[in-house]
Amino acid sequence: MDVTVVQSEASSSLFQELGVGRTTLPTRDREASELSAPEKLAAGWKKDVLLVPGAALVILAILLVSLIAQLSFMGAISHTRDQQVLYSQFRESLADATAPTGQVADGALIALGTPVALLEIPAIGVKEVVVEGTTSTQLMGGPGHSRDSVLPGQIGNAVVVGRQAGYGGPFARLDELKANQKFSVTTGQGVQQYKVSAIRQGDQAPVGNPASRLTLVSATGTPFLPNKALFVDADLTSPVQATPTQVLSQSSLAKAERAFGGESGAWIAVALWLQVLAIVVIAIVVAAVRWGKVQAWVVGLPLILFVTLSMSEQVTRLLPNVL
């Protein structure tokens, strides 16, 4: 046999083994290239079988952190901003002599969230604008005036409810008040002076029956895990103000407006945000398979933070209003 022919055949065999000159893909690569987009995605899911539960755990952790942040420092920032706005609104209404003096103004009930008083308790460092209404939403901005009660300074018992810890915790130190300590409340009828008469917890009944009383309501116990309601009764020491006819009674109030009440209607908003979160999670998983995990999280993390923070605010509305 010709030596040249033998060398040629040997070289050809060697080239074939090395794939030189091959115009077709190896079987494995050809099969991968022939996969459709859904098949490629399924193959990626099989490869990263722990991607979905891993992403879910990360997002759950972010949600819990967001809820804690919403109740604590972010809530405190929101509360400070709201108080500044409310203070400006209340000063303007006092200057214009349009500050509310009863449950009704211009033939309609006072709108929820309207500033109605300025509460100043020097002994515990409280200077808070009080708004109308006591649901969780209203108490995010500051203490709230119970709509079924008179305003401070009028005949009867005025009730103001505030948070113990969340959203700045304006009533965090309420249990430090002592009998005979004095404070003031400014309303559309002037400055009302009060003196603490009793501090009560749980189901303890109020003592005495003064013509005009103010009861401050919050919670006592571990922050965010209170075990009892806290009541501070204070008697009016300045002249009693004119008292308009009451339109609302205690039976008129929804459960969400009472101490330790939550807004059950917030479940709708929470459910909607959960759906948005589910869509974001699915999008991140798909992006992780197609683009890579790092790229997917770079794009998806800001979206997750936005959704979880928005949802945590709605979850807060479900919690007791005095937390």
How many structural domains is the chain composed of?
Answer: 2
Number of helices (H) and strands (E), helices first, in the chain? 8, 10
**Rounded average pLDDT over 114-141:** 97
What residue type is 17 in one-letter code? E
Q: Is residue 1 part of a domain?
A: no
Q: Is residue 32 part of a domain?
A: no
Q: 140, 71 in Cβ contact below 8 A?
A: no
CA torsion sign, 45 to 46 to 51 to 54?
positive
β-pairing, 144-145 vs 108-109, is: unpaired
- Going by the DSSP 8-state scheme, the letter that residue 35 receives in this structure is -
Question: Are 311 and 240 within one domain?
Answer: no
Which pLDDT value is given to residue 129?
A: 98
Give residue-wise pLDDT tens across range 68-117. Answer: 888 888 899 999 999 999 999 999 999 999 999 999 988 899 999 999 99
Question: Are 252 and 206 within one domain?
Answer: yes
Which pLDDT value is given to residue 34?
A: 52
Give residue-wise pLDDT tens across range 21-77. Answer: 444 444 444 444 454 555 555 555 455 555 567 667 777 788 888 888 888 888 999
Q: Is residue 314 part of a domain?
A: yes
Q: 146, 160 in Cβ contact below 8 A?
A: yes
Q: What is the DSSP string of 277-295?
A: HHHHHHHHHHHHHHT-HHH
Which pLDDT value is given to residue 80?
A: 96
- Going by the DSSP 8-state scheme, the letter that residue 117 receives in this structure is E
β-pairing, 190-201 vs 225-236, is: antiparallel
302 CB neighbour count, 10 Å cutoff: 10
Q: Which of 238, 257, 276 is the last residue of a domain?
A: 257
Domain that holds residue 211: 82-257
Question: Are 222 and 281 within one domain?
Answer: no
Give residue-wise pLDDT tens across range 215-243. Answer: 999 999 998 888 899 999 999 999 999 99
Q: Which of 257, 279, 294 is the last residue of a domain?
A: 257
Q: Report the percentage of the chain scoring pLDDT > 90.
A: 54
Q: Is residue 4 part of a domain?
A: no
Q: Structure tokens of 94?
A: 């006092």
Choose between 153 and 313: higher pLDDT: 153
Which pLDDT value is given to residue 172?
A: 95
By CB atoms closer than 10 A (0-12, 13-18, 19+), residue 104 is middle
Question: Are 90 and 59 within one domain?
Answer: no
Give residue-wise pLDDT tens across range 178-207. Answer: 999 999 999 999 999 999 999 999 888 888
Which pLDDT value is given to residue 38?
A: 57
CATH code (residue 161) = 2.40.260.10
Question: Are 86 and 173 within one domain?
Answer: yes
Helix (H, G, I), strand (E, B) or coil at 157: strand
Q: Report the percentage of the chain scoring pLDDT > 70.
A: 83
Which pLDDT value is given to residue 142?
A: 96
Question: Are 106 and 87 within one domain?
Answer: yes
Which pLDDT value is given to residue 46?
A: 53
Residue corresponding to tokens 């515990």: 124
Q: N- to C-terminal Cα distance for the chain?
A: 98
β-pairing, 182-187 vs 225-236, is: unpaired
**Rounded average pLDDT over 241-253:** 89
Question: Are 132 and 211 within one domain?
Answer: yes
